Amino acid sequence: MIILLALAAGIGIGFAVQPSVPIDLQPYLPIAVVAALDAVFGGLRARLDGIFDDKVFVVSFIANVLVAALIVFVGDQLGVGGELSTAVIVVLGIRIFSNVAAIRRHLFRA
Amino acid sequence: MSLLTDIAANALEPGYAQAAQAHARRPAGRGPRIAVAVTVGIAALLVVVDGAQAALHAPADARARGALVAQVQGLESQTAALAGTVRNLQAEVAAASASALSADAAGTGRLVGLERDSGMSPLSGPGLVVILNDAPTASPDTLGAGSPATGQNRILDSDLQAVVNALWAAGARGIAINGERLTALTAIRTAGAAILVDFSPLSPPYTVEAVGDPVAIETGFGGSATAAQYRTYQSVYGLGFSYHRASGLSLPAATDLVLHEAEPLP
């Protein structure tokens, strides 16, 4: 219950405050969001698998977001930021898809 | 693609499985629920902020594009309006000169003749059409400035100059290349891979229309050294070269004629 409340609170704060992202961080925000989605869907699947762990979820969330942004940042410095963004998106996209498919199997038994 | 298969197979953080094994060995109590809640809240916040950013940028891009489109359209309509003004002014000039010269039939005739010969007015009548074309083996990138071997299969500016000069010598009254009327001041030259006539780039085939007495031009041009030269080029290099008489040629007036010496009377 508290988790759903936090979800609603995050959405509400986002819409209410409309924080402006510093221009230097804007390229990394979409990557960070995809990494966050990956961690969230992974946690949901673990919960349905019955092996959810608070610590793993929190640490994987923070680490995924930071590492994804860092990879793209390093890629930008090396001149391959676009390619590394694509790589990160591909990897995280496949993971999100697989996890959502597993969640679907749990929910619909199909 | 074992890499992609790996990613798909290990989509779930391996940490969950390890933690589950650890729990199985020594069962622990419920962890701090609050940390999970905060993390989920941050995730939701990130998604919303990113969506807002994307929505913020979309109208800016559309605005910039719309401004450019509007600018282009405005300049196009401005060009059309200016062209209309030019046509009106040309008609005005023609009417003014006609009324000023109405009493002077000899002067009118002289003016018409000069305008026709200088290319200031359109010219139509019978004449000769010369068609020049690159050889089929010529590729667009073989034109190298100054290297004699590369230009031999293409029509160059000097070819057009030679043909035009031969046509003038054969008695042409007016000449146009691909619809560009030549005057005494027209330059035929090469810029990059294109031939410019009066700064308009032309592309092959080059159609040179010469108005005048067709029989005189054909005999004069056909017997010239230039024509003989290009017949040789045609058989040796495969350059396109042909000419035929035509009855209803119509050459446009030259554009961009500027008076250099003449001044209006005080």
pLDDT value at residue B147:
41
Tell me, yes or no, whether B149 and B49 share the same domain.
no
- Predicted pLDDT at B145: 41
- What is the total residue count of chain B? 266
Collect the ranges in chain B with pLDDT lower than 70: 1, 25-32, 137-152, 255-257
How many angstroms separate the Cα of A106 from the Cα of each of A27, A38, A44, A52, B238?
Answer: 35, 18, 11, 14, 75
**What domain range includes position A58?**
22-108
**Three-class secondary structure of residue B194 per DSSP:** strand
Judge whether B10 and A43 are in contact, CB under 8 Å. no
The B-side interface with A (CB below 8 A) comprises 4, 7-9, 11-13, 15-20, 23, 31-50, 52-54
**Contacting residues of A for B14, CB less than 8 Å apart:** none
* Residue A88 in domain: yes
Q: Which of B66, B100, B134 is the last residue of a domain?
A: B100
Strand order in the sheet with B194-197: B188-191, B194-197, B200-202
Same domain, B131 and B92: no
Measured in degrees and rounded to the nearest 5, phi and psi for residue B75 equal: -65, -35
Residues of A in contact with B49 (CB under 8 A): 14, 19, 21, 29
In a domain, A82, yes or no: yes
B2 within domain boundaries? no
Mutation test of the interface with chain B: which of A53, A60, A65, choosing the one with the most B Cβ atoms within 10 A? A53
Q: Domain check: are B92 and B146 in the same one?
A: no
Nearest CB to A14: which of B13, B38, B49? B49
Residue A92, domain member (yes or no): yes
Find where tokens 């979800």 sit. Answer: A7
Q: Is residue A78 part of a domain?
A: yes
Q: Measuring CA to CA, how many Å separate B123 from each of A43, B82, B89, B141, B181?
A: 84, 25, 21, 37, 10
A16–chain B Cβ distance below 8 A for any pair? no
Closest chain B residue to A17, measured at CA: B49
| Co-location of B131 and B88 in the same domain | no
CB-nearest to B12 from A15, A59, A99 is: A99
> Nearest Cβ partner of B43 from A13, A29, A40?
A40
As for how many domains chain B has, the answer is 2
What is the pLDDT at residue B25?
64
More confident site: B183 or A37: A37
Contact A37 B43 (CB under 8 A): yes
Is A15 domain-assigned?
A: no
Contacting residues of A for B38, CB less than 8 Å apart: 6
Our count of domains for chain A comes to 1
C-alpha–C-alpha distance, residues B256 and B198, integer Å: 9
CB pairs under 8 A between A and B: 136
Gyration radius from chain B CA atoms: 36
Q: What is the CA radius of gyration of chain A?
A: 16
Instruction: Please check whether residue A12 lies inside any domain of the structure.
Output: no
The answer to whether residue B116 sits within a structural domain is no
Closest by Cβ to B15, choosing from A19, A60, A62: A60
**Burial per residue of B87-104, b for 16 or more beta-carbon CB atoms within 10 angstroms, e otherwise:** eeeeeeeeeeeeeebeee
CB pair distance less than 8 Å for A56 and B15:
yes
- Whether A14 is covered by a domain: the verdict is no
> Which residue in chain B is spatially nearest to A65 when comparing CA positions?
B43
Residue B128: which CATH number? 3.30.70.1880
Asked if the interface predicted TM-score (ipTM) of this complex is over 0.90, the answer is no
Angle (deg, nearest 10), helices B33-100 and A54-78: 30
- Same domain for B235 and B171: yes
Percent of chain A at pLDDT exceeding 70: 99
In a domain, A2, yes or no: no
Nearest CB to A14 within list B9, B13, B48: B48
Whether residue B48 sits in one domain with residue B93: yes
3-state helix, strand, coil in chain A (%, to 5): 85, 0, 15
Residues of B in contact with A19 (CB under 8 A): 49
Q: Which domain holds residue B234?
A: 122-251
For position B70, what pLDDT does the model report? 92
What order of strands is seen across the sheet that includes strand B174-177? B180-181, B174-177, B206-211, B123-133, B240-251
- Establish if B62 belongs to a structural domain: yes
Same domain, B143 and B227: yes
pLDDT at B148 (0 to 100): 43
User: What does the pLDDT read at residue B153?
Assistant: 75
Shared-domain flag, residues B26 and B132: no
Determine contact: A18 vs chain B, CB below 8 A. yes
- Residue B84 and residue B126 share a domain: no
Based on the fold, state whether residues B77 and B167 are members of the same structural domain: no
Q: Do B83 and B140 belong to one domain?
A: no
Task: Compute CA B1 distance to the chain's CA centroid, rounded to the nearest angstrom.
Answer: 48
- Region A47-59: mean pLDDT is 86
The distance of A8 to chain B (nearest Cα, Å) reads 7
